[in-house]
Amino acid sequence: MARKGKRLRSAYEGIDRTVQYELPEAVRLLKERARARFDETVELAVALGVDPRHADQMVRGMVSLPHGTGKSVRVAVFAKDAKAEEATAAGADLVGADDLAQKVQAGEIEFDRCIATPDMMPVVGRLGKILGPRGLMPNPKLGTVTPNVGEAIKAAKGGQIEFRVEKAGIIHAGVGKVSFPDDSLMDNVRALVEALNKAKPSGAKGSYFKRAAISSTMGPGIKLNISSLVA
């Protein structure tokens, strides 16, 4: 732990923790301090002025990052007959119906996104206690319960991510990899902020965007001037 603390203290050198940096400068500082031996994930954290305990202040949705996430997404699809064939042709990693449900019930959850056709929801509904806590339950509002399985698979594998506010009113989401060009990271950050702005709930009062910071897997958090991004 001491070693990690020393490394993080070194990474914070040259960063003023009282300053909210403009996005280009924040990305530059972040990439300079990404010294891990792997391609670190870049994460955006945004504190929102909402209380998600109230239904009218929940913030949740999907956004397609213009440059993807840099991660390979495994997609499972609950579908039958022609829709199952469509899902397979579109590149789904797992396709099935009752057989796929049995795998999930047995703890074989080898996927990152779950899509279902509407007629499969009676089967998928029985898996709510398993898929729900993992954030994998298909939802028509998020476009993961749909007859257009081909489009949904393409979106999932092309950089579409889900965002959901946590109990403390904070959104965490990966927006790319340190190896991405600066402009690509900035485009992805702006796309997520724009999606959050559009998802502002009716029950939100006062200042909606409170704070924001960008960080890499092993690097320090760098505060962002969120007002300039929203503007």
Domain boundaries, the chain: 18-69+160-230, 75-157
3 state SS of 178? coil
Supply the pLDDT for residue 14.
76
The fold for domain 18-69+160-230 equals Ribulose 1,5 Bisphosphate Carboxylase/Oxygenase (3.30.190)
Supply the pLDDT for residue 204.
87
3 state SS of 143? coil
Supply the pLDDT for residue 148.
96
- Whether the CA torsion 140, 141, 146, 152 is positive or negative: it is negative
Supply the pLDDT for residue 229.
86
User: What is the chain's pLDDT, residue by residue, as a tens digit (231 residues)?
Assistant: 445 566 666 667 778 889 999 999 999 999 998 888 999 999 999 999 999 999 899 999 999 999 999 989 999 999 999 999 999 999 999 999 999 999 999 999 999 999 999 999 999 999 999 999 998 999 998 999 999 999 999 999 998 999 999 989 999 999 999 999 999 999 999 999 999 999 999 888 889 999 999 999 988 899 999 888 887
The CATH H-level (homologous superfamily) assignment of domain 75-157 is Ribosomal protein L1/L10, domain II (3.40.50.790)
For β-strands 170-177 and 41-48, DSSP reports them as antiparallel
Report how many helices (DSSP H) and strands (DSSP E) the chain contains, helices first.
9, 9
DSSP state of 66: T
Cα Rg, the chain, nearest whole Å: 19
Q: Note the helical H segments in 47-148.
A: 81-89, 98-105, 121-125, 128-131
Supply the pLDDT for residue 5.
65
